[in-house]
Amino acid sequence: MSKDNKTEGAMKLPKIPVADKSKSLGVVFLLVASLSFGFLGGWLGSGAKERDAVNSTISKADQQVVLNESQLISDIAKTVSPSVVSIDVTTQAQQTDFFGRSRSYEQQSAGTGVIISESGYVITNRHVVDGASDDISVTLSDGTTLDDVELVGQTSNSDTLDIAFLKIKDTKGKKLTAAKLGDSSKVQVGDKAVAIGNALGQFQNTVTSGIISGYGRDLEAGSSDGSESESLQNLFQTDTAINEGNSGGPLVNISGEVIGINTAVASGGAENIGFAIPINDVQGLVKTVLEKGKLERPYLGIRYVTLNDEYAYQYNLNVKRGAYLAPSQSGSAIISGSPAEKAGLKEKDIITKIDGTSIDEKNSLVSLVSRKAVGEKVELTVVRDGKEQKITITLEAFKQ
């Protein structure tokens, strides 16, 4: 109380009862405090509500994105799965015992295939059916097993295109659904991709999703036991989960179109690195099989080096991309009697384009030729002695 009196006396305020004055000051203070905290609380409360509204909106937006993506993948699976088959193959294998005695036995393997026509043609990987006997069966997405299946043909083991075709001869009254083939030349890194296949040979029509991680990949692929290997070119790389048994199955875009045939997966500690053959690279084979009922592999008949900066420097060439018909000790770059010889190609020619499409990291010579059919004429852009010229060549069937 003495403190209040000193303050008041110093300010020479009118004397009022201390109790009344203390009460008045207290009320004013409380009133101001109440108004201040009320305003602050209202402001904070308003801000919290706004933040909650924003957070709720963001959360709902995120949820909607996830739901939309999930629905999209679900729709793709429903659309494409009827065109995907599981393939079971019986092959004859040899085993030698400790005493050098050999015996044969049956070996079971499994993979995936894609129906490409309602008449029963199926595309898959060569390594899925390589060495198969007549015992090949396919299982449809509804679980129906079809046993009357014929191996139409497959590319040679030295071919960089790991492809084979089957024909379902007896559908048991089942109507087959052909997959829609897309245009793999339009695929960009980062595009969404979905894989469907017989994962591990026992989980039919497994669906996984990811993105296209790269294109134009070349690699040396081998079997899981290391007994076989093959060189593959111009592959898509994807982080979509691909497992053993997925081989031969489709890699699909968001429109439900097949843009690739799954063919390999990286091992040795690698995760989510799978590879697929671009569908455009097999369009010529598909066309021939559907029209003629047999597999014919178009070829030029050349030996060449795919140019890059390093090889261009090594061979002292001004052209840094293309197929260089390089002389070698293994034989002439032009195979005798081949379409290339008939068209007048020569050693040290550099093929830079096929029908106007450049040979580069995204389009290898093999992939560009594979898009054509036997009997088609193609125009080669060739650099010879530093000068560019056009040469027309008629593709012929490769004789294995």
* pLDDT for 388: 95
Q: Are 185 and 281 within 8 A, CB to CB?
A: no
Domain ranges of the chain: 82-168, 184-291, 298-397
Q: Which residues of 142-176 are buried (b: 16+ CB within 10 A; e: fewer)?
A: eeeebeebebbbbbeeebbbbbbbbbbeeeeeeeb
Comparing 184-291 with 298-397, is the CATH topology the same?
no
Choose among 247, 281, 255: nearest CA to 85: 247
* Residue matched to tokens 């009827």: 82
Does 162 qualify as catalytic in the annotation?
A: yes
* pLDDT for 221: 62
The catalytic residue among 81, 141, 209, 247 is: 247
* pLDDT for 233: 80
Q: Which residues of 270-288 are buried (b: 16+ CB within 10 A; e: fewer)?
A: eeebbbbbbbbbbbbbbbb
Tallying the residues shown for the chain, one arrives at 400
* pLDDT for 1: 42
* pLDDT for 222: 55
Q: Are 321 and 307 within 8 A, CB to CB?
A: yes
Q: Over the stretch 268-315, which tens digit does the pLDDT of each residue have?
A: 555 678 899 999 999 999 999 999 999 998 989 998 888 989 999 999
Q: Over the stretch 84-128, which tens digit does the pLDDT of each residue have?
A: 999 998 876 677 766 677 777 667 778 999 999 999 999 999 989
* pLDDT for 3: 39
Does 267 qualify as catalytic in the annotation?
A: no
Mean pLDDT by 10 residues, the chain (400 residues): 36 34 35 43 55 55 61 88 92 69 73 95 92 82 92 88 94 94 92 85 77 85 55 86 85 94 74 86 93 91 90 92 86 90 94 94 85 92 95 88
Let me know if 346 is exposed, middle or buried by CB neighbors in 10 A (0-12, 13-18, 19+). middle
* pLDDT for 73: 87
Give domain 298-397's CATH number out of 2.30.42.10, 3.40.50.11400, 3.40.50.300, 3.60.15.10: 2.30.42.10
DSSP states of 13-72 as a string? PPP--HHHHHHHHHHHHHHHHHHHHHHHHHHHHHHHHHHHHHHHHHHHHHHHHHHHHHHH
Residue 159 phi, psi (nearest 5)? -75, 140
The catalytic residue among 88, 162, 281, 349 is: 162
The catalytic residue among 81, 83, 109, 127 is: 127
Does 127 qualify as catalytic in the annotation?
A: yes
* Token pair belonging to 111: 């993979």
**Vertex 270: Cα angle to 266 and 274 (nearest 5):** 40
82-168 belongs to CATH 2.40.10.10: yes
Q: What is 184-291's CATH topology?
A: Thrombin, subunit H (2.40.10)
* CA–CA gap between residue 308 and residue 370 (Å, rounded): 21
